Structure 1
Amino acid sequence: MDSPQTARPRPPRPDLPLGTDPQAVRRRIEAMEQVLERSFTVPGVNRPVGLDAIVGLVPVVGDVIGMAMGAWIVWEARNLRMPKWKLARMAGNVAFDSAVGAVPMLGDAFDFFFRSNTRNLRIIRKHLDKHHPETRVIDG
């Protein structure tokens, strides 16, 4: 057991809220979108990529994992009581990304350019800005 003097410092954890209020849901979805689409920048290309493109390189399993993470964003949007047509549009984005992403080689390049989770975040933000304006965050 480490004494307080020898304990290693832990990396900071993002404080993501666990609530079901619109502000908490928005913060969780924004964090997931960043992990999936903009985690780091590819050297030389200067284009951000995320976990979705990386796990998509693993045949079959990677595409299933990417689809599941994208479906989680749609599920969170459902918890916001978004209209069914918006949920269907978001599910279509995830399904299209997964279907094309499953094609070997072409799908990996496609994942680099088509960002279904970013598109879905845009739909959610627009909904929240209209129906829950108190959740707006000024990007700086």
Structure 2
Amino acid sequence: MPISQEQFAHIAKDLSGMGNDPRAVRMRVEALEKVLERAFHIPGTKIPVGLDTVIGLVPVLGDLVTAAMGAYIVWEGRNLGMSKWQLLRMSANIGIDTAIGAVPFLGDAFDLVWRSNTKNLKIIRKHLDKHHPSTRIIER
């Protein structure tokens, strides 16, 4: 049984992280960054890795997939009304990650160090803290 757009909007409004408000955007971006950069640790170490590193092991295609996922974070930033300079910086972070990440072996090691999604999350957090202070979350 299909539901109307209005019914969907009402249901989505009640779900945490599903709205278009800055707090929901922050929750989505933070969750995606965690999945892409810090989903688990390399066994025997404290080095966090995520899908960006794992999927990046697949030559070229893996880097394109993770670039698209990172571009979603930039898109969310655009929807928040971030400046063109901030969006350009975020896009450059993804571009560097994708370009160097496409180089076999070197790119895989680079993904462990250059965490473009974490850098982009910091840019978004700074914007949200300045323009939408009610979205602040006390870090544990």
Fold conserved between structures, TM > 0.5: yes
Aligned residues: 126
**2:100 paired with 1:100:** yes
Q: Measure the CA separation in 1 of the matches of 2:79 and 2:123.
A: 14
* Divergent runs of 4+, >3 A: none
- 3-state SS of paired residue (1:112): helix
Correspondence 1:1-140 to 2 at 5 A? 16-140=16-140
- The letter of the residue matching 2:59 is P
Q: Give the structure-1-normalised TM-score.
A: 0.88
RMSD between aligned residues: 0.9
Q: Which runs of 5+ in 2 are unaligned?
A: 1-14
Q: Which has more radius of gyration?
A: 1
- Larger deviation, residues 27-36 vs 43-52: 43-52
Deviations 1:23-61, CA, capped at 9 Å, x for gaps: 000000000000000000101221110000000000111
Q: Measure the CA separation in 2 of the matches of 1:119 and 1:16.
A: 24
Q: Give the structure-2-normalised TM-score.
A: 0.88
- The letter of the residue matching 1:66 is T
Q: Measure the CA separation in 2 of the matches of 1:44 and 1:114.
A: 21
Percent identity between matched residues is 63
Deviations 1:102-139, CA, capped at 9 Å, x for gaps: 00100000001110000000000001001100000001
Distance 1:96 1:16, change over 3 A: farther
